[in-house]
Amino acid sequence: MNTRTVSLHILFLFLLLHLIDSLHTLDQNNTMKDGDVLISQARKFALGFFSPGNSSLRYVGIWYYGQLERTVVWVANRENPVNHTSGVLAFDHYGNLVIRDNIGDLPIWSTNISSLTSNNSATAQLLDSGNLVLIHDLSKEVIWQSFDYPTDTFLPSMKLGLDRRTGLNRFLTSWKSEDDPAPGSYSYRFEPTGYPQGFLYKGRAPYYRGGPTIQYPHGVDRAMPHDFNYIIRVVRNATEVSISYSASTISRYVLQEPGSLKYFMWHDEEQRWSEFGHYPKEQCDYYKNCGPNSNCDANTADQLDCTCLPGFEPTSPAEWYLRDGSGGCKRRRGASMCQSGEGFVKVQGVKLPDTSTVHVNISLSLKECEQECLRDCNCTAYSSADKSMGENGCLKWFGDIVDTREFSNLGQDLYVRVDAIDLVLVPSFTARHRKSTLVKKAMVATILVSAVVLLLLGSLIYCLRLKRKRDRNARNHLSRVTTISAYVDKIACLKDLDSEGRRKTDIPVFDFGTIAVATCNFSSANELGHGGFGSVYKGVMNDRTEIAVKRLSKYSGQGNEEFKNEVKLIAKLQHRNLVKILGCCIEEDEKLIIYEYLPNKSLDSLLFDETKRSLLDWGKRYEIAYGVARGLMYLHQDSTLRIIHRDLKVSNVLLDGALNPKISDFGLARICIGDQIEGKTKRVVGTYGYMAPEYALQGQFSIKSDVYSYGVLLLEIITGQRNNGCYHMNPFCNLIGHVWELWGGGKCMEIVDKSIDKTYSEDMVSRCIQIGLLCVQRYASDRPTMSTVVFMLGNADAVLPSPKQPAFIDESAHNGDIQTRCNRACSVNGVTVTVLEGR
């Protein structure tokens, strides 16, 4: 054999071109050494030894032939690399292809074909599809193929899924890193149970469901060009459950760390790959992002909402209210779901829920499906099988409906079982959309009328029945009627909210005299602080409750009634991370807002205090940052108001007894300046050091200017330094510039407050610094929304983008200007300033 190899090499030297042409098979009589390559017939792919990334270890792999940068699509010895360049690939006596690192030793990798027992001979051939096949020399059958043992890449004509005859399940696993092709923690499988679907797992936990295709399952990608023949083939029969695809351009799916299935296409002219889609893409894509029986709705830019499916109500209303949808929804209390007039509500345009446990019958029409589902009291929902597959079919769900989300243009219709009452109340439910208020009003009206009719009808029936059979069944009907009136109550409340004022939950209006007495006539001894909108005083009421009173120094000048209404609206915003408003007080020119009193004062009194700052360990700081983020997200997203704070800073974050953060002064910009959601103002209110550039320089404010302030706050919490405190070690006069510089040099841990006990995870702190830098990016559009910030803070796995340059750095055009602003800021030192003219 050795002489054969030597002669092969001599031939290789002399007849290089001819040999490359013929080197597309490997047989019993030759050996492939490190450095040799096997090339497919049409020179599409090559097989040989390679070293990935910066590693020096040798692996046998397949890559695209003729591309400048090697893109490996398959690796044989993923876990057992060769330590040096003397590895060989050859056949053993059984006809198995093996890799040896020293001839004679046990192979470090083998095709391990179990059906081969003794003297066999086979030939290996690399096909133009990128598939390495072993063909038995006598039977001419394929006895092994690399496509059956995928690594991280899914190529056209390859199959993922289960071969029922052999039990072979083909799935993708990510590489550990770019330097190490050993299996990483993510896998992508085509699951055969129920109605087959793709699942991306992190370890063993589902991470994302769907993909990798346009149509199947349940439509994922939105951006595929129409002009390239992309065809998906799903086989679901007695011998196999599999998915494969073909495309007219060179393309591949690859499962990368951390947890992303990406689709790439090759640009021939530009000689490069371009990414054409990746999953999961959005927050709603993550598996069970919203709990059971709820729908994840992400259609308003990057806002996130979990909504209960019709007939369901939040399992924990409190968490739901705080926008934590993970608890999901449960069947509305009192709903009777079995043979008592229930039916189905169509939920339009959704990703079909998890189909692992559905019942499938492809021969049924949708109408028959409905009948079948209705007949079975345990059936909770039905839908047609994947319509894009041209299948009518019937899918029936039992138990909880898991992992649905709206899908603006590729979703399907899901029919959810509801009881008789909901059937009337919720005639149709659309997941996408936000209906115009007009439609909403019409809907409310319709619902009201129907509810009243139902109530009357119910009472009528109830009375009649009561007359007839006094004792029997009475209790049943009673609860029925109670349910209906509870609904009517709810609707009445909703209506009340709309028309304002009819409910008796008006905000308390305090008497000015009472407040004056409580605060010792606003004595300076009682003054807690002075901010942009006025002074705050501590007060003690007759019943000894402590209050904080904000005496507004400026007010936009609307009438007293408007002021009251405005305070009332803002008082309705209630969140554990917002200071509670207890009432207001109006007396001629005096406008007061009365808050709960928090004994631990504001965050700055701890954070910037040499002795007290050590009270704030990393865990506490993280909780404070997270709490503030949630409070701010709540302000930004509450659908009734959408408050932009405009003056978020450490001194506006108060701490309660347990050091829980509460944002104060929210809504004051709205009261004092007017209530535009986003806009341009001539009256800039804010604090230097916290103001986003577009706001400070041009007077443009939006939720993104609050995000900027939050970023500054976050960095201050981590570093224990004021942003406007003039950082002397630095050419730029602010903290952000300093953090940015250290970040760029990979030394950001240097800036972390030295008084924090060193027990924190550097990884976590560095993530938080990165999030802070993302928030203070120069362009508002680059900054994340608060819901994204909350998500990034709460999910250690979430991939963070790289921050771009923050504002107020290297702005040569404005440099002098900013310098003076900074200097001024230093002298005001944290006090809110109001500039009356923007530019």
Ligand X SMILES: *[C@@H]1O[C@H](CO)[C@@H](O)[C@H](O)[C@H]1NC(C)=O
Q: Give the distance from CA 409 to its chain's centroid.
A: 20
Residue 112 or 815 having the CB closest to ligand X: 112
Q: Which of 83, 761, 795, 815 is close enough to bind ligand X by CB under 6 A?
A: 83
Answer yes or no whether residue 513 interacts with ligand X by CB under 6 A.
no
Residue 111 or 787 having the CB closest to ligand X: 111
Answer yes or no whether residue 376 interacts with ligand X by CB under 6 A.
yes
Residue 808 region, left (φ>0) first, then alpha (ψ -120 to 50), else beta? left
Give the list of residues 6+ apart from residue 399 with CB closer than 8 angstroms, or none.
357, 378, 380
Which token pair is 570?
Answer: 């803002």
Encoded one letter per residue, x for contact with ligand X by CB under 6 A and - for no contact, window 43-82 reads: ----------xx----------------------------
Residue 29 or 545 having the CB closest to ligand X: 29
Q: What is the residue type of 309?
A: L
Answer yes or no whether residue 27 interacts with ligand X by CB under 6 A.
yes
Q: Which of 90, 122, 304, 364 is close enough to bind ligand X by CB under 6 A?
A: 364
Answer yes or no whether residue 378 interacts with ligand X by CB under 6 A.
yes
For 402-421, the DSSP string reads -SEEE-TTT-EEEEEEE-HH
Query: How many other CB atoms are there within 10 angstroms of residue 504's CB atom?
Result: 6
Place of tokens 């120094």: 553
Encoded one letter per residue, x for contact with ligand X by CB under 6 A and - for no contact, window 734-763 reads: ------------------------------
Place of tokens 């409910």: 503
Q: What number of CA atoms fall less than 13 Å from residue 99's CA on the CB side? A: 23
Answer yes or no whether residue 258 interacts with ligand X by CB under 6 A.
no
Closest separation in Å from C-beta 448 to ligand X = 35
Give the list of residues 6+ apart from residue 454 with CB closer than 8 angstroms, or none.
421, 424, 484
Give the list of residues 6+ apart from residue 113 with CB closer than 8 angstroms, or none.
94, 95, 96, 134, 143, 144
Which residues are annotated binding-site positions for ATP? 550
Closest separation in Å from C-beta 62 to ligand X = 17
Closest separation in Å from C-beta 394 to ligand X = 8
Q: What is the residue type of 819?
A: Q
Beta carbons of 794 and 728 less than 8 angstroms apart: no
Which token pair is 266?
Answer: 């090759």
Which residues are annotated binding-site positions? 550
Stretch that binds ligand X, among 332-340, 360-368, 548-556, 621-629 (CB under 6 A): 360-368
Show contacts with ligand X in window 117-146 (CB under 6 A): 118-119
For residue 64, give the nearest of 126, 130, 145, 125 by alpha carbon.
130
Show contacts with ligand X in window 299-328 (CB under 6 A): none
Answer yes or no whether residue 168 interacts with ligand X by CB under 6 A.
no
For 537-560, the DSSP string reads EEEE-TT--EEEEEEES------H
Answer yes or no whether residue 235 interacts with ligand X by CB under 6 A.
yes
Closest separation in Å from C-beta 56 to ligand X = 8
Q: Which of 363, 505, 524, 640 is close enough to bind ligand X by CB under 6 A?
A: 363
3-state helix, strand, coil in the chain (%, to 5): 30, 25, 45
For 154-206, the DSSP string reads E-TT--EEEETTTTEEE-EEEEEETTEEEEEEEEEEEE-SSS-EEEEEETTEE
Q: Which of 68, 238, 438, 525 is close enough to bind ligand X by CB under 6 A?
A: 238
Query: Cα–Cα–Cα angle for 525, 527, 532, nearest 5°?
Result: 155
Residue 97 or 696 having the CB closest to ligand X: 97
Beta carbons of 337 and 417 less than 8 angstroms apart: yes
647 is catalytic: yes
Closest separation in Å from C-beta 176 to ligand X = 12
Residue 109 or 286 having the CB closest to ligand X: 109
Answer yes or no whether residue 90 interacts with ligand X by CB under 6 A.
no
Catalytic residue among 152, 400, 419, 647: 647
Closest separation in Å from C-beta 84 to ligand X = 7
For 644-688, the DSSP string reads --S---GGGEEE-TT--EEE-STTHHHHHH---SSEE-SSEEE-T
Q: Which of 240, 324, 413, 741 is close enough to bind ligand X by CB under 6 A?
A: 240
Residue 235 or 796 having the CB closest to ligand X: 235
Q: In what order do the strands lie in the sheet with 97-100?
A: 32-33, 88-91, 97-100, 109-110
Closest separation in Å from C-beta 253 to ligand X = 20
Three-state SS for 437? helix
Residue 99 or 712 having the CB closest to ligand X: 99
Encoded one letter per residue, x for contact with ligand X by CB under 6 A and - for no contact, window 92-111 reads: -----------------xx-
Q: Which of 229, 237, 409, 640 is close enough to bind ligand X by CB under 6 A?
A: 237
The residue count for binding ligand X (CB under 6 A) is 24
Residue 264 or 760 having the CB closest to ligand X: 264
Q: Which residues are catalytic?
A: 647
Q: Contact residues for ligand X (CB under 6 A)?
A: 27-29, 53-54, 83, 109-110, 112, 118-119, 178-179, 235, 237-240, 361, 363-364, 376-378
